[in-house]
Amino acid sequence: MDISETITALNSLARNIWWTWNQDARGIFEELSPRTWLNVYHNPVAILREVSKTELKTRLLEPEYAKRVKVVLDEFQEYIGRNDTWANREASGLEEKSIAYFSAEFGLHETLPIAAGGLGVLAGDHIKSASDLGLNFCGITLFYREGYFQQTINQENWQTEYYNQLNPKNLPMDPVLNEQGEPLICTVDIATDTVSFRSWRINVGRCALYLVDTNLPENPSHYRDLTLHVYGGDSTTRIQQEILLGVGGVKLLRALGRNPDVFHMNEGHAAFLALELIREKMAAGSSFKESLTATRKKCIFTTHTPVSAGHDRFHPELVGYALNRYEKHLGLTHEDLMALGRIVPEEDSEDFCMTVLALNTSRAANGVSELHGVVSREMWQCKYNTPVNEVPIGHITNGIHLLGWMSPPARDFWQQRLKNSDEFYEQINSQEFWSKIDNPEFISDEELWALRYRLRRELIDFARGRLIDAPRTREGDFINYDRLLKADALTIGFARRFATYKRAPLVFDQLDKLVKLSKDIDRPVQFIFAGKAHPADDEGKRFIQKIVHLSKQTEIAGHLVFIENYDIQIGRMLVGGCDVWLNNPRRPLEASGTSGMKIAAHGGLNCSIMDGWWREAFDGKNGFAIGGDEHPDNVEEQDRIDSENLYRVLSEEVIPTFYNRDSDGIPRAWIKKMRHAMATITPQYNTWRMVQEYSQKYYLGE
Could you list the residues that contact ligand PLP (CB under 6 A)? 117-118, 121, 496-497, 567-568, 571, 593-595
Rounded CA-CA distance 252/100 in Å is: 11
**Contacts for 452-455: CB closer than 8 Å, 24+ residues apart:** 452/579, 452/603, 452/674, 453/487, 454/409, 455/407, 455/409, 455/410, 455/576, 455/577, 455/602, 455/603
Contact 607, 650 (CB under 8 A): yes
Closer residue to ligand PLP, CB minimum distance, 571 or 683: 571
Q: Which is nearer to ligand PLP, 214 or 594 (CB)?
A: 594
Distance in Å, CB of 222 to ligand PLP, minimum: 30
Nearer to ligand PLP, 593 or 683 (CB): 593
Rg of the Cα trace of the chain?
25
Would you say 500 or 595 has its CB closer to ligand PLP?
595
Q: Least distance in Å: CB of 575 to ligand PLP?
A: 8
The nearest distance, CB 369 to ligand PLP, in angstroms, is 11
Q: Is 185 helix (H, G, I), strand (E, B) or coil?
A: coil
Separation between Cα atoms, residue 533 and residue 151, nearest integer Å: 9
Residue least distant from ligand PLP (Cβ): 118
Nearer to ligand PLP, 118 or 367 (CB): 118
Angle at 458 between CA 28 and CA 425, to 5 degrees: 50
Closest to ligand PLP by CB, 489 vs 568, is 568
Q: C-beta of 77: minimal distance to ligand PLP in Å?
A: 29
The residue (of 326 and 527) whose beta carbon lies closer to ligand PLP is 527
Closest contact distance (angstroms) between CB of 685 and ligand PLP is 11
Q: How far is the CB of 527 from ligand PLP (least distance, A)?
A: 16
List the one residue out of 597, 614, 616 whose CA is nearest residue 678: 597
CA distances from 432 to 93, 447, 683 (A): 26, 20, 9
Amino acid at the residue 688: W
CA-CA distance, 321 to 189, in Å (whole number)?
Answer: 11
Nearest approach in angstroms of CB 325 to ligand PLP is 37
- 567 versus 579: smaller Cβ distance to ligand PLP: 567
Q: b vs e for 419-449, b when ≥16 Cβ sit within 10 Å of the residue's Cβ?
A: eeeeebbebbbeeebbebbeeeeebebeebb
We find the least distance from the C-beta atom of residue 599 to ligand PLP, in angstroms, to be 10
Q: Tell me the CA end-to-end span of the chain in Å, nearest whole number.
A: 46
Strands (E), 321-413: 352-353, 364-367, 394-395
Q: How far is the CB of 469 from ligand PLP (least distance, A)?
A: 19
Closer to ligand PLP at the Cβ: 496 or 534? 496
Distance in Å, CB of 230 to ligand PLP, minimum: 12
For residue 670, give Cα distances in angstroms to 238, 663, 665: 47, 15, 12
The C-alpha atoms of residue 363 and residue 358 are separated, in whole angstroms, by 10
Contact partners, residue 499, CB within 8 Å, separation at least 6: 307, 533, 534, 537, 540
By the 8 A CB rule, do 617 and 421 touch? no
219 close to 194: Cβ distance less than 8 angstroms:
no
Task: Please tell me the distance from the alpha carbon of residue 643 to that of residue 636, in angstroms, as a whole number.
Answer: 11
Residue-wise burial string across 163-193, b where 16 or more C-beta atoms lie within 10 A, e elsewhere: beebebeebbbeebeeeeeeebebebbbbeb
- Nearer to ligand PLP by Cβ, of 467 and 495: the residue is 495
Q: Taking the alpha carbons of 24, 90, 691, 268 in that order, is the dihedral positive or negative? A: positive
User: Least Å distance between CB 609 and ligand PLP?
Assistant: 12
Please count the CA atoms within 13 angstroms of the CA of 279 that sit on its side-chain side. Answer: 22
Which helix H or strand E contains 654, and what residues bound it? Answer: none
Of 263 and 405, CB closest to ligand PLP: 405
Q: How many of the other CB atoms lie within 10 Å of CB of 235?
A: 14
CB of 370 to ligand PLP, least distance (A): 16
Rank residues 117 and 524 by Cβ distance to ligand PLP and give the closer one.
Answer: 117
> Least distance to ligand PLP from the beta carbon of 122, Å?
8
| Residue 15 or 304 having the CB closest to ligand PLP | 304
